[in-house]
Amino acid sequence: MNDTEANASSDADFLEDFHHVATIGATDNAGVDRQAATVDDARTRDWMRGWAEAHGFEVRIDAIGNMFACYEFVPGSPYVLLGSHLDSQPLGGRFDGAYGVIAALHAALRVRESIAESGQVPQFNMAVVNWFNEEGGRFAPSIMGSSVYAGLFDLDAMLAVRDLAGVSVAEALAAIGYAGTDTPPDAISYAEIHIEQGRILEREATDIGVVESSWYTQKLDIDVLGEQSHTGATAMADRHDALVAAAKVVLAVAGVVDEFDDEALVSSVGQHVVEPNSPIVVPRRVHMVADLRSSDPAIVQCARDSLHAQITEIAKDHDITIDVEDFDIRDKRYFPETGVELVEKAVANEGLSVRRLETMAGHDSVAMNHRVPAVMMFVPSVDGVSHCEREFTRDADMVRGLGVLTSVAEDLVRGELSEDRDGAVWIGRSTATAQTPVPIPAADSRSGGDLQTTAEAGA
């Protein structure tokens, strides 16, 4: 690139960068596999570092591996942060996270250009962030980097988290050269754009979603304890097959949604480990995690109670033990109304359509909204699929989103939303005035120890 190009951002430039990054860690079916602190995660980081330095940003890496591309308008002022994450699920999609980071880089370039053209000095500085380990596929809990930054997770505890191969976060970051020592920029506000991962925008042919609140979610740690026996020699009547009982639990979790309105509740079992898992041994144990999410906390509570009752019956019918524990309860949280209105105004200025939404998924913005006022935007996802290779968003939708993000970012840099700060500390609203700490099951080495372990985990 020449000097002029280095400071311009056309839609074509943005798309070229986006589609280039999608080649890093690309899978056979057009997805990406860039789990946190792997070689391919490092390659996207190197790309971002190179891009940022070439475009005149100062790159800082903090102790949990978050990357910040900083640009100072006003020495000493706090920073508006824009960003998302470049890591992915195993066999994940190429849009989840990466779109938000690359859009933020181009939005920052455009804001800088616009500010320069206006000749006005803005109120705050600006940085684009690539948060470490949003996905949590390799290192649990997810949303790790932004939660450490927001003060929700302890840095040392997170650095000590190990993957299934026994490698710690600290070791993995050091191995890829991203165990940073820089002081991160001090945030004043945060904005993020992301694919919807649902099909509401697509169905309603709406360009942009603005997130009002995050869903209430909780997980259930379910441990089905039968008795190991011989698949050939043991009479059917003498068996206490943990897998047969577990299959009924899986169906109960899937079926509990039918007790409520369509799509009012989503439920699933994602983790499910059988022991001893030998073709000729009747299983003694199945350890699983069920995930319940709803906009309405009462629905999750009601589903949870129904499952407790059903599981008690299953255990009785099979004469085995099933332990159930609540964990990873995340309260419904609201994004500031001022931020929602900023997005609505920007969309109107661009001549696009907008809709208020809730997010069923966790995001870095949910963690950041604990620390500073945050703005969260969505663009449409084809078929609503995500966390898979088939995830897809059209170029035109990404470009429209970039335009809105740019507008919002410029408003933030010029001082919008900062009045939402309550003194030095932003207090986001939640449905509970005081959250009761929830007992967290001990990480279990037998099933890989990969249970979520904190109250804000779960992407």
Q: Which of residues 90-119 bind a copy of itself (CB under 8 A)?
A: 90-91
- Under 8 Å between Cβ of 122 and 416: no
Binding mask 58-97 vs a copy of itself (x if CB under 8 A, - otherwise)? -------------------------------xxx------
Residues 169-208 that bind a copy of itself (CB under 8 A): 196-199
- Under 8 Å between Cβ of 387 and 291: no
**Residue 227 touches a copy of itself, criterion: CB under 8 A:** yes
Tokens of 292: 């319940």
Nearest in space to 141 (alpha carbons), one of 405, 457, 368: 457
Binding mask 413-452 vs a copy of itself (x if CB under 8 A, - otherwise)? -----------------------------------x-xxx
Secondary structure of residue 47 in the 3-state scheme = helix
- CB closer to a copy of itself out of 149 and 327: 327
Q: How far, in Å, CA of 62 to CA of 317, rounded?
A: 53
Residues 236-275 that bind a copy of itself (CB under 8 A): 236-239, 241, 243-244, 246-248, 250-251, 254, 257, 262-263, 266-274
- CB closer to a copy of itself out of 29 and 181: 29
Residues 6+ apart with CB under 8 A from 313: none
- CB closer to a copy of itself out of 15 and 264: 264
**Residue 216 touches a copy of itself, criterion: CB under 8 A:** no
Number of residues assigned to the chain: 459
- Under 8 Å between Cβ of 428 and 333: yes
Q: How far, in Å, CA of 52 to CA of 68, rounded?
A: 9
Q: How far, in Å, CA of 288 to CA of 223, rounded?
A: 6
Angle, vertex CA 419, rays to CA 413 and CA 420, nearest 5: 105
Candidate segments 107-115, 183-191, 289-297, 367-375, binder of a copy of itself by CB under 8 A = 289-297
- CB closer to a copy of itself out of 407 and 452: 452
**Residue 210 touches a copy of itself, criterion: CB under 8 A:** no
**Residue 231 touches a copy of itself, criterion: CB under 8 A:** yes
Rounded least distance, CB 378 to a copy of itself, Å: 10
Please report, for residues 27, 91, 121, 197, the alpha-carbon distance to residue 388 in angstroms, rounded to integers and kept in the order given. Answer: 11, 6, 43, 10
